[in-house]
Structure 1
Amino acid sequence: MGASVGIPAVALCITRRLYQIASVKTVSISQSGKRRAALIDALICVLFPLVYIALQYIVQGHRFNIYEQIGCYPALYNSLPMYLLSTMCPPLLGLVAAAYGVLALRAFLRRHAAYAQRLSASPGLTASRYLRLIALASTLLTVPLGALAIYLNLTASLVGPWRSLADTHFMFRRVEQFPAILWRGNHLLVIALEFTRWASPACALIFFGFFGFAVEARRSH
């Protein structure tokens, strides 16, 4: 569950930093500025996912589900609060990251002549790597994938009414098990489970595709 917001949070931090690099008016950055930037990144990438995971308890119907051939899966009660606290967060982070990405690319194109000097203040960052980072953050597709997750939740099962926290947590300690012959009969549920299963490995492959075949990576090999 943390990865569902952790990945778009990382994309947000990447595009935000790239925008700051492209739009900053001075080449040098003070130590306090570096510490402040690192603190903001930590709040976005570490604290926010932790708070997000803690808030899932509100809409957690019971401990967890076990799907045969998949494993453990969070048991969130499909209701309006679930969309507000859970499924809406990744696409919202993706929208903010996309906005920063557009601003970073625009700043890069408008100030390309002076950009080489600014890159010297960021060791290891070249123009090629800068553009690849923007492309990487955009290719993670957090907005359309988040929208797909919302659609699957709306269609794979019925949206129930929210009555109270006590009602949602009734018999909270139970663990429900679903044989593969049952859950594989629901086409939309299969898509939802397999999507969750392969999203993180797909992001890892995308990252390697952008940087594993780069000139500097091949040179180090």
Structure 2
Amino acid sequence: MSLDTTTTVFAAFAFIGFVLALVPFYWHYKAANTGTCLYMFWASLGCLNAFINAVVWNGNWTDHAPVWCDISTRIIVAENSAIPASTLCITRRLYHIATNTVGSKRREAIINFSVGLGLPIFNVALTYIVQGNRYYIYEDLGCWPAIITTQPTYPLFYAWPIALGLVSAGYGVATMYTFIRHRRDIHNVGSDTAMESFRLNKSLYTRLMILCCVDVTLTLPIASYIIYASTRNAYQPWVSWGFLHADFTHIYTLTASFWRTPQVWAVVEVSRWSNTLNAFVFFALFGLAQEAHLHYSLVYKYAKRLGSSWREGSSLHLSRYALLLILAGNCH
């Protein structure tokens, strides 16, 4: 078995992205930022899924784990709309902050979970209609959804990231227009309004806007290119449900020399690297910010004290600092 260098490099970046995307999760969870939490969840899950596939199928195309491939391909399908849906949740919240129409935390959480979690799951269910086989296995790539490009594939699969991206762009433009129009009010508004929250957390909201702009800017051209490339590569007219699913249980395994044509290779690489890029962009904006440094310093301080207690061999000290860690977590 000969390992592919490109796949090895990708696996390393995917694993790093999996870890980095989860670093800011705790303090965003404590702040009830469900949109950003969903974004981190999907970005990290996508990186982990790609990492496992790249490691297991680097240099081979054997069907090692059928159950895993069933799960993995559904994660890949969910990612098609998961990041755009999470971005929509973030831009929607920023818009409500700008217009001072923020609802209750419970209501916002229900809406965000319905959009950021419910829509990707619904996307997975719909995609079964145009899924010709259980899955494919590509050498060096791993499990891949067996989605047939036919007429229903466009509204059921390809259109989701574009539609969500356009809605997010609409919210983003409206948010920026509102903030600019009321920039003077931000400094004069009372403390009981949502705009005061923006004034106090201007850096956070600015970074959220940057994240949304980057995602929308990447989502629309990437999704459009994938539609274009898929239509050129393997378009098949819709015949019937029975015709499309006639050979559903068969597993196709493809060697690297077979599937790495310029068109297919470009679609696959753009698809799997985009999620890793999302994880790195998120960490750059939120894992290196000022509030992140405060949390890192707290973790370092308590870890240092815990290490001193461990060296002293005192179970009493260990219990005391374990309690301090719990209390510290509840205070932030």
TM-score, structure 1 length as denominator?
Answer: 0.90
Name the structure 2 match of 1:52.
123
Report the secondary structure of 2:243's partner residue.
helix
The structural deviation recorded for 1:106 is 1.0
1:128 is aligned, of 186, 203, 208, to 203
Report the secondary structure of 1:66's partner residue.
strand
Cα distance change on mapping 1:194 and 1:113 into 2, 3 Å: same
Alignment of 1:35-74 (within 5 A): 35-74=106-145
Report the secondary structure of 2:248's partner residue.
coil
1:17 is aligned, of 93, 103, 106, to 93
The structural deviation recorded for 1:134 is 1.0
Amino acid at match of 2:288: F
Name the structure 1 match of 2:274.
199
Amino acid at match of 1:65: Y
Name the structure 1 match of 2:105.
34
Report the secondary structure of 2:140's partner residue.
coil
Amino acid at match of 1:170: A
Instruction: Indicate conservation of the 8 Å contact 2:186/2:198, yes or no.
Output: no
Instruction: Indicate conservation of the 8 Å contact 2:97/2:195, yes or no.
Output: no
Query: What is the aligned-residue RMSD (CA, Å)?
Result: 2.0
Structure 2 CA distance for aligned equivalents of residues 50 and 9 of structure 1: 11
Cα distance change on mapping 1:120 and 1:23 into 2, 3 Å: closer
1:5 is aligned, of 81, 90, 97, to 81
Structure 2 CA distance for aligned equivalents of residues 113 and 219 of structure 1: 30
Q: Detail structure 1 runs of 4+ shifted over 4 Å in the superposition.
A: 119-125
Report the secondary structure of 1:48's partner residue.
helix
1:179 is aligned, of 255, 266, 283, to 255
Structure 1 CA distance for aligned equivalents of residues 200 and 255 of structure 2: 49
Structure 1 residues not aligned, in runs of 5+: none
Question: If you compute each CA radius of gyration, which structure gives the higher value, 1 or 2?
Answer: 2
Whether 1:101 aligns to 2:172 is yes
Name the structure 1 match of 2:69.
none
Structure 1 CA distance for aligned equivalents of residues 240 and 199 of structure 2: 52
Structure 2 CA distance for aligned equivalents of residues 121 and 110 of structure 1: 15
Structure 2 CA distance for aligned equivalents of residues 125 and 154 of structure 1: 48
Question: Which segment is superposed worse, 92-101 or 122-131?
Answer: 122-131
Q: For residues 43-94 of structure 1, what are the alpha-carbon distances to aligned partners after superposition, in whole Å with 9 as ceiling and x for unaligned?
A: 1011111111001110000110000000000001111111110011111100
The structural deviation recorded for 1:176 is 0.3
Name the structure 1 match of 2:285.
210
- The number of aligned residues is 214
1:90 is aligned, of 161, 165, 168, to 161
The structural deviation recorded for 1:121 is 6.6
Structure 1 CA distance for aligned equivalents of residues 284 and 98 of structure 2: 24
Structure 2 residues not aligned, in runs of 5+: 1-76, 297-332
Report the secondary structure of 2:147's partner residue.
coil
The structural deviation recorded for 1:215 is 2.3
2:227 is aligned, of 139, 143, 150, to 150
Instruction: Indicate conservation of the 8 Å contact 2:186/2:196, yes or no.
Output: no
Structure 1 CA distance for aligned equivalents of residues 295 and 118 of structure 2: 34
Structure 2 CA distance for aligned equivalents of residues 213 and 145 of structure 1: 27
The structural deviation recorded for 1:200 is 1.2
1:164 is aligned, of 240, 260, 263, to 240
Instruction: Indicate conservation of the 8 Å contact 2:138/2:254, yes or no.
Output: yes
Cα distance change on mapping 1:121 and 1:39 into 2, 3 Å: farther
